[in-house]
Amino acid sequence: MNSFLEVRNLNLSLKAGMPILRSVSLNVAAGQVHGLVGESGAGKSMIGKAVLGTLPRALQVTSGEIWLDGVNLNSLPTAERRKTIGAKAALIPQDPLTALNPSKRIGPQITRRLVDILGWQKSDAEARAVELLHEVHIPDPARVMKSYPHELSGGMRQRILIASAFAAEPKLIIADEPTTALDVTVQKQILRLIAEMQQRHDTALLFVTHDLGVVSKTCDTLSVLYAGKVIEEARMRRFFTRPIHPYSAALLKATPTYTNPRGSLTPVPQSVIDATEREVREHDMRASR
């Protein structure tokens, strides 16, 4: 399989020494959707941040490689790495309310980078932005381009951020829990929109979420993360019919279903958590040896 994004044995830790990611490897093939699931704190967002080069300053990559479109990102000087990432990958952020600059109009927030970094003509960039806003079903794009973020709703802003992510025709989109901050009715529309845009533009998509239900609808493959370690990597159909790792199986069982509204919530059993914890600790022992 031809990977567009390949993460090899990525180790990430706090500068104080505490490990955050433990030998994480994953592949996202061109045009494919890869889900990244795990509990809060499992480190799933950190993988996306490591790829995009936006890790918090307190974290550092201790070992491992990130290959994007056949280029080892770690081998590039900082400025060039930023440009490469900017041209080939894009982020759909978690919270649309804080991800747009409050003092700038929407138009320039989509078009400026096309002009500044990719050297487009201003008129081309503006035409492109209008086209993209149409694609994400925003009525009257010309007016929206002149608006400030505070004049638009959360759902509108997330649509704008999706449009903006696709502006430079990146071949990889990283969606970092793109619906968590939205209310349930808008969530579905946004998910459908991301899937629609991904297919139309034929991009690879790394979909970070804690919602297995979302993964089942959108992804081709997935990785399950626990305490910064990938404990299972699978194709979608196989994962939902025959999960291999006990934690995955327990996680699947814990997913609430709408078909049985009176059923009580199923927690992941403590024995499974303990066994998984042990596995992580054994990994650390092997790594330190």
Partner 1 sequence: MTVFRNILIRLLTTAVTLFGVAVIVFVVIRVVPGNPIAMMLPPGATDADIARLQAQYGFDKSIFQQFMIWLSGVMQGDFGTSISTRQPVAGLVLSRLPATLELSIVALTIAMLLGGALALAGTRFRETKAEAAVDITSGMALSIPDFLWGLVLILLFGVLWPVFHISGRISPALNIDFSTNFYLFESILRLRFDVIADLVGHMFMPALALAIPLAAIIAQLLKQSLKETMHLDYVTLARTKGYGENHVITREALPNAVLPTLTLVGVQFTFLIGGTVIIERLFSYEGLGNMAIDAVINRDLPLIQGIVILFAFLFTIVNLVVDMLYVLLNPKLRHA
- Interface residues toward partner 1, by CB under 8 A: 52-54, 57, 79, 82-83, 85-87, 89-91, 93-95, 98-104, 113, 116-117, 148, 150-151, 161
Pick between residue 118 and residue 273 the one whose CB is nearest to partner 1. Answer: 118
Pick between residue 98 and residue 121 the one whose CB is nearest to partner 1. Answer: 98
Q: How far is the CB of 117 from partner 1 (least distance, A)?
A: 5
* Residues 194 and 205: beta-carbon distance below 8 Å: yes
d(CA 159, CA 96): 9
Which residues, in sequence order, are CB contacts of 193 under 8 Å at separation 6+?
136, 137, 159, 162
Q: How far is the CB of 47 from partner 1 (least distance, A)?
A: 14
Q: How far is the CB of 104 from partner 1 (least distance, A)?
A: 8
* DSSP secondary structure of 247-259: HHHHHHHHS--SS
Q: How far is the CB of 69 from partner 1 (least distance, A)?
A: 15
Q: How far is the CB of 254 from partner 1 (least distance, A)?
A: 30
Q: How far is the CB of 4 from partner 1 (least distance, A)?
A: 16
Pick between residue 34 and residue 113 the one whose CB is nearest to partner 1. Answer: 113
Task: Please give the structure tokens belonging to residue 236.
Answer: 């979608």
- Between vectors from CA 196 to CA 185 and to CA 97, what angle results, nearest 5°? 50
Pick between residue 173 and residue 236 the one whose CB is nearest to partner 1. Answer: 173
Pick between residue 15 and residue 289 the one whose CB is nearest to partner 1. Answer: 15
Strands (E), 130-240: 172-176, 204-209, 221-226, 229-235
Pick between residue 8 and residue 105 the one whose CB is nearest to partner 1. Answer: 105
Q: How far is the CB of 161 from partner 1 (least distance, A)?
A: 8
129: exposed, middle or buried (Cβ count in 10 Å: 0-12, 13-18, 19+):
buried
Pick between residue 57 and residue 289 the one whose CB is nearest to partner 1. Answer: 57
Q: What are phi and psi of 155, to 5 degrees?
A: -65, -45
Nearest to 112 by CA among 96, 129, 95: 129
**Residue 82 CB neighbours (<10 A):** 15
Handedness of CA 161, 162, 167, 168 (dihedral sign): positive
